[in-house]
Amino acid sequence: MEPLKRRLLVGDIVSARTLLSARGLVVNRGARKVLRDVDFSLSEGEVVGLLGVNGSGKSTLLESLAGLHPMTAGSIQRNDRGVETTVRDSEGQRGDISGFGLCLQTEGMSGDETVFERIRGACRVAGRADNSEALNEIISEWGLGHRADDRICKLSGGLRRRVAVLSALVPVAMNSEPSVVLLDEPSEGLDQSSREQLLGWLRALAMRGHGVLVATHDPEVITACDRTVTISETSELTSKVQESNLEHTNLPDPSVSEHHGELVAWTWRLERRNPIDTIGRGVPALVALLLAYTLSTDIARSTENYDLLAALILTPAFITAIVSPAIIKRLAEERAGDWWRAMTGASSRGWFSIMGISLILPLPIIYVSWFVIADDSAMNSDVMLWLWLFAFVIIDLSVAASALHLMVSDLTRAGAVAGILLQLVLIWPFLQMTSALTSIMSNGMSFELALGEPIADIAIAWLTVVLLWAMAVIIPED
């Protein structure tokens, strides 16, 4: 393939297009101002090395360019196919960007993924079509062919690093349009063979017109750069142009763009392989059901207290909704959540909360609770016909609960916040559902839209849940 990169040389009349830029960037990490009024640009067809001592802000700058950090001032823009998009700015705006590659300093992967699934998933979330033959060939070239179906948690640190690097490189290599690759210390932990592969890929990506930014201390990686930018402890950037004579590697042919619901598929794969979410929700619900049965036997049935009986019937399903979903732990593993946040852009928390839904358990648990707890004297045909409505609201309530858990986990000191206290706001829709079920048990179903009637109470509960979810999603991530 002929080189696509274009450089501004003496006599040239066309300069390389800027793919990514930061203007007046100010980023604070706690009380410390890490980046001060930084201007930076990455053009097509160049490999830029980001240098500096530890703590100078290299990782912060790279991650900010990926949209991961809020900024006090400035903005980050990306030029994609001639259209300029805001990655993030100081007003909290975030753009939905795709098609770029990101390798964090930590792996950014869940241990329950397999090698092949991870690399294929990175391509899918970047909008690239599946090409299993090409992916298997790349995986073999990087010495991972015999481990392609192994879980990442079973790999050594060096092999995990290869997978993380490939997850950033392959999606861009398969993109026919100039795109961006952001790499943070990619050579750390790689053996010599993998380092040589990395250097060849960096040069090949530049030859195809892609822009690569790599934060590094590695002298070998620096030799692959066309330009180095040194960041000082005062955030001053010093740029230096150099010539790289390294040979490039042959890359796979670009593929056509396809969009997949990869986050949904990722969540489902991991839960099916390791059902910690179902177990984590099911066990507390079972305990709550046993306690509710005991209370109903000793109190509710003897006094015919329908209010208490309705609350006991709904409590086990309610417990499944407010338990912290497994996706919270999976996203926290090796900063997998940060990788997904960068890939999914502004809609990340909304999608994460939907993926944390308790979809399977509420309906059967409500019906089991009814048969276990309710006495024959409380049986009403209307109750059996309309219990699914309460399950529907509780499923929605689980989305709001997930959003609240995510909001807490996004905080700088998440452990200092009693996340369970935020779940108390969900008591209100639970009480509305209890009131509706009590009415149905006592008087049957009514379709009057008046306060105190079942349909009105259910509608109020559902609207409250939707508003709570919207508030948790809209609140800034940091």
Within a domain: 141: yes
Contact at 8 Å (CB) between 77 and 20? Answer: yes
Residues 63 and 175 in one domain: yes
Cα distance between residue 184 and residue 241, in whole Å:
20
Q: Is 127 helix (H, G, I), strand (E, B) or coil?
A: coil
With 0-12 / 13-18 / 19 or more C-beta atoms within 10 angstroms meaning exposed / middle / buried, residue 315 is buried
Residues 207 and 349 in one domain: no
Which pLDDT tens digit goes with each residue over 7-51?
333 333 346 789 999 999 999 877 788 899 999 999 999 999 999
Identify any residues that bridge with 50 across adjacent strands, giving them in sequence order. 215, 229
Which pLDDT tens digit goes with each residue over 402-427?
998 888 776 655 454 555 666 788 99
Residues 215 and 302 in one domain: no
Residues 141 and 181 in one domain: yes
pLDDT of res. 412? 54
The last residue of a domain, from among 206, 241, 276: 241
Mean pLDDT on 150-162: 95
pLDDT confidence tier of residue 4, bands split at 50, 70 and 90: very low
Compute how many other C-beta atoms are within 10 angstroms of the C-beta atom of residue 56: 20
Within a domain: 367: yes
Q: Residue 2 pLDDT > 50, yes or no? A: no
Mean pLDDT on 452-466: 93
Within a domain: 448: yes
Domain range enclosing 83? 18-241
- Among candidate residues 126, 105, 106, the one with its CA nearest the CA of residue 169: 126
Residues 304 and 231 in one domain: no
Within a domain: 252: no
pLDDT confidence tier of residue 258, bands split at 50, 70 and 90: low
Residues 274 and 216 in one domain: no
Within a domain: 279: yes
Which pLDDT tens digit goes with each residue over 91-137?
878 876 777 899 999 999 999 999 999 999 999 888 887 788 889 99
Residues 393 and 294 in one domain: yes
The last residue of a domain, from among 241, 272, 301: 241
DSSP 235-286: --EEEEE----PPPPPPPPP--B----HHHHHHHHHHHHS-HHHHHHHHHHH
Residues 369 and 459 in one domain: yes
Which pLDDT tens digit goes with each residue over 57-87?
999 999 999 999 889 999 999 987 777 888 8
Identify any residues that bridge with 311 across adjacent strands, giving them in sequence order. none
Residues 71 and 180 in one domain: yes
Decide the pairing of beta strands 211-215 and 47-51.
Answer: parallel
Cα distance between residue 110 and residue 331, in whole Å:
8
CATH of residue 189's domain is: 3.40.50.300
Residues 305 and 420 in one domain: yes
pLDDT confidence tier of residue 278, bands split at 50, 70 and 90: confident
Q: Residue 265 pLDDT > 60, yes or no? A: yes
Angle between helices 262-273 and 348-355 (to 10 degrees): 30
Within a domain: 376: yes
DSSP 59-124: HHHHHHHTT-S--SEEEEEEEETTEEEEEEETTS-B----S-EEE-SS----TTSBHHHHHHHHHH
By mean pLDDT, which of 13-22, 339-348, 374-383 is the weakest?
374-383
pLDDT confidence tier of residue 176, bands split at 50, 70 and 90: confident
Within a domain: 247: no
CA angle, 304 then 310 then 315, to 5°:
135
Residues 271 and 177 in one domain: no
Within a domain: 246: no
- Among candidate residues 70, 66, 69, the one with its CA nearest the CA of residue 20: 66
By mean pLDDT, which of 7-16, 134-143, 214-223, 464-473 is the weakest?
7-16
Kindly state the helix (H) or strand (E) to which residue 338 belongs, with its residue range: helix 336-344
The total of structural domains in the chain comes to 2
Q: Residue 296 pLDDT > 90, yes or no? A: no
Residues 284 and 319 in one domain: yes
